[in-house]
Amino acid sequence: MYEYHTLPNGIKIILSHTPARVTYSGVYINVGSRDERGAEEGTAHFIEHSLFKGTEHRKAYHILNRIDGVGGELNAFTTKEETCVYASSLSEHLERCLELFADILFHSTFPLNEIEKEKDVVLEEINSYNDTPSELIYDQYEELAYEHHPLAHNILGTKRNVKRFTPEGLRSFMRSHYTPERMVITVSGDVKMERLVRLCEKHFGAFPPKNCRQDAGAPCPPNTRIEKPTFRVFDRHINRHTHQAHMLIGCEAPDIYHADKTAFSLLNNILGGPAMNSRLNVAVREHYGFCYNIESQYIPFSDTGLFYVYAGVDLDAQDKARKLISDELMKIAENALSEQQLRQAQRQMIGQMAINDDYGLNEMQSIGKAYLCYDHVNTLEEMSADLLSVTTSDLLRVAQERFHPEKFSTLVYGN
């Protein structure tokens, strides 16, 4: 069971009480690279890096030592639509983590000398990314799929933009987007809800919301993104000097609120999930040995979704592998699963969800994002029941709606 609370300024709190000595805590913010415009591209990711570089109360060393000094771990990440700052620590150090989250999220100063050093770090991160085709291909695919839309932006931004970032520009972006009504504090550990609420009120309660009156007593609306993207169909082959051909084949998928999200998630798991018995792994790797790595991913955004299959294959086998992948996508759209196959797929995915949630860090992050998006989090039992309600006809219908050759977009790196 999860416990919920909302502070008067709109910050939401969610707790999963688990009898473990280690507590995982974090803050999810409803802002990502999608919320950047023009010269701002890359700002959310750069802020994520720079939050640890200095506040009104601490220098960079003191920020890092605050959690590391007691054996904990502090980290952060940025996606297209969210930013998350999180920590792992012994339960007795939870207040230390929460106080630090509040300090870096509301009092960061972005010292100029630290920002200039961090620019070099991010520029090297961009160089590293450009040298890794198996990662770069995902970003270029999204640039092609969502051309001229903010979802097309590379999360890292451009070198030109990174070089132009200023402390004032970073502070301005934070004032606009890192506001209480867009935040969720998420905790998994041996913590009582009364103590967690008290600590959150102490360290986060004084920050006023941006878009509603402080005495309203309810959270404000989350980030509204009115520019719905249009998925573009394309077929591109880019010559690169690689030892493998890297390919992505994909299509538009249900968004995070769509009624078909559960059915499509199961469909994705059957096709190219993490298990070795996924259809794509068996068809392309096990039967023919054409590749080392093949997988499918389903990424639901707030108003659209993306599905793609990635494979790194032998250069001489890229055409054969591409046909095998297309054949598997069409098979699942033309032939309904048997009831036995469906039950096996459902059991497998339920087991994967349970194992994932058994690790406190994964659970803390998953419930934080879910609460940010849905204002409620389903338990494992509720998610399992939802998954078991999917029928063979549901899967067939969803596959037939999404998997048409004329709807697929393909990007290939290789000679």
Helix (H, G, I), strand (E, B) or coil at 304: coil
d(CA 13, CA 405): 44
Q: Among residues 284, 286, 254, which one has the least CA distance to residue 267?
A: 254
Task: List C-alpha distances in Å: 5 to 11, 201, 209, 333.
Answer: 9, 11, 16, 43
Give the number of other Cβ atoms within 10 Å of residue 355's Cβ.
10
As given in the structure block, the two tokens for residue 373 are 């998006």
d(CA 199, CA 174): 23
Task: Enumerate residues 6+ apart whose C-beta is below 8 A from 77.
Answer: 48, 83, 84
Task: Enumerate residues 6+ apart whose C-beta is below 8 A from 249.
Answer: 308, 309, 322, 325, 326, 329, 408, 409, 410
Beta strands in 163-303 (DSSP E): 183-189, 235-238, 244-253, 291-300
Instruction: Answer yes or no: 363 catalytic.
Output: no
Q: Among residues 320, 274, 326, 327, which one has the least CA distance to residue 297?
A: 274
Helix (H, G, I), strand (E, B) or coil at 15: strand
DSSP state of 387: H
Q: Which of 40, 48, 118, 252 is catalytic?
A: 48
Q: Among residues 35, 125, 122, 47, which one has the least CA distance to residue 80?
A: 35
Beta strands in 212-347 (DSSP E): 235-238, 244-253, 291-300, 305-314
**Positions marked active-site:** 48
